[in-house]
Amino acid sequence: MTLQPEAERDLIILEHIEQNPDATQATLAAQLGVAVGTINWHLKRLIEKGYIKVRRAERRKLRYIITPEGIALRARLTMDYIQTSFRLYRLVRQRTIEALTQVQEHGIRMVRVVGDGDVAEVCRLTCLERGMQVVEDEHAPALTIQGLKIVLMGDGFDHKEEENHAS
């Protein structure tokens, strides 16, 4: 649902360094929930590519500085992230609308949304936007979230499963 893992991690590291140039590898690792060695590897790669410079602030303390190339990379990665997010948002909305169309063709005006997370939230919002009541009633047709799939389940429905691709 996002950028490639390496690109996403680069973006996060660049954002953290921009917000706090005095960040240590240990604090970056803690913020990202990864090992210090992983941060070290990413920082070395970003330094080799010219996106970050390192200056010694004190005897044992380093300061990371984002270069103009690093700022341009961060901007590019941010735009890629936004475009990917909107593409996935539109995909989930379209799949939800297709499922709701089937429900509405049966004269039903309420559904359950089964699942959690961002995809389920987009489904709920799309339902409300389309005038479909979201209920907890187990007898109501269910839009079941499976990753990016929206599976329509309930009496009279063919349990149509949408393809899981982000085109």
Weakest mean pLDDT among 6-10, 93-97, 142-146: 6-10
**CA gap 144, 131 in Å, rounded:** 19
Whether residues 102 and 60 fall in one domain = no
For residues 138-159, give the mean pLDDT.
Answer: 84
Structure tokens that stand for 28 in this block: 């970056």
Please tell me the total count of domains within the chain.
2
The answer to whether position 76 is within a domain reads no
The answer to whether position 79 is within a domain reads no
Whether residues 98 and 62 fall in one domain = no
The answer to whether position 158 is within a domain reads no
The answer to whether position 31 is within a domain reads yes
How would residue 158 be classed by pLDDT, with cut points 50, 70 and 90? low
Whether residues 60 and 9 fall in one domain = yes
* Amino acid identity at 2: T
The answer to whether position 85 is within a domain reads no
pLDDT tens column, 33-69: 889 999 999 999 999 999 999 888 777 778 889 999 9
Exposure string of 98-137, with b = 16+ CB inside 10 Å and e = fewer, is ebbebbeeeebeebbbebeeebbebbbebbeeeebebeee
Question: Rounded to the nearest 5 degrees, what angle is found at the Cα of 134, between the Cα atoms of 131 and 137?
Answer: 135
Indicate which CATH number applies to the domain containing 24: 1.10.10.10
Note the pLDDT of residue 164: 40
pLDDT tens column, 106-147: 888 999 999 999 999 999 999 999 999 999 988 899 999 988
CB of 166 closer than 8 Å to CB of 87: yes
Task: Supply the range of the domain harboring residue 110.
Answer: 90-153
